[in-house]
Amino acid sequence: FAAKDNVAREAILSGMPAQDAEMICQEDTAQAMWNRFVDKQAKREYSNYIIARAEFFSNVYTSEKSMDQWLREMESLRHQLLHYGKRVTNDDYAETLLGHVARTHRGVVRQFSKHYIVWRDGGSDSPVPTATQVMNALRAESALDEKTGAEEQRPVGVAACGKQST
């Protein structure tokens, strides 16, 4: 039994990062080593999931980023959550995006919220927009904002009226 245990211990330790190997080599048996390593990995994985989840739900849009850049970040965070086994549905993703732009793109939020009906019994009828519809609306609104912002920055002078300055 001791020979098999030593072979198993060697197999577990081969290719393992030194820090992890130091932690688990203190265990008496290969089974105990393996269990401790798996526990540590599960805790690390859960910790990473919690961080990714917090980033996903707190990544509010700000004007310092372009809309395309922010949407790519949100999609990346959504994929990270999927990696950890937590699927964000299309409806939840659309609502999360709208919630994150509620202060900066109120027109887009209103565009989708006017179809939301709350009934007297407390229920609601909400044809939730798809994530694609929300992303397209946000990109279009941002492109329009950039275009109007560029036009506002042009100097307005006599030449704008078609007259020549003297």
The answer to the question of residue 13 being in a domain is yes
Q: Where do the H-state alpha helices sit in 59-125? A: 67-83, 90-100, 106-113
The answer to the question of residue 17 being in a domain is yes
Question: What's the pLDDT score for residue 100?
Answer: 96
Task: Identify the segments of the chain with pLDDT beneath 70.
Answer: 114-128, 149-166
Element at 34 (helix H, strand E):
helix 30-58
Q: 4 and 52 in one domain?
A: yes
Question: What's the pLDDT score for residue 34?
Answer: 82
Q: 67 and 31 in one domain?
A: no
pLDDT in tens, 22-45: 877 788 888 888 888 888 877 888
The answer to the question of residue 141 being in a domain is no
Its pTM stands at 0.63
Q: Domain range for residue 14?
A: 1-58
CA 48 – CA 37 distance, rounded (Å)? 16
Question: What's the pLDDT score for residue 123?
Answer: 58
The answer to the question of residue 84 being in a domain is yes
CA 110 – CA 143 distance, rounded (Å)? 18
Question: What's the pLDDT score for residue 15?
Answer: 78
The answer to the question of residue 107 being in a domain is yes
Q: Which domain-ending residue is among 115, 139, 159?
A: 115
Domains in the chain, number = 2
Which among 100, 99, 92 has a CA at the least distance from the CA of 113?
A: 99
Question: What's the pLDDT score for residue 135?
Answer: 94
Q: 77 and 48 in one domain?
A: no
The answer to the question of residue 80 being in a domain is yes
| Tokens describing residue 54 | 């917090």
Question: What's the pLDDT score for residue 152?
Answer: 61
Q: 90 and 51 in one domain?
A: no
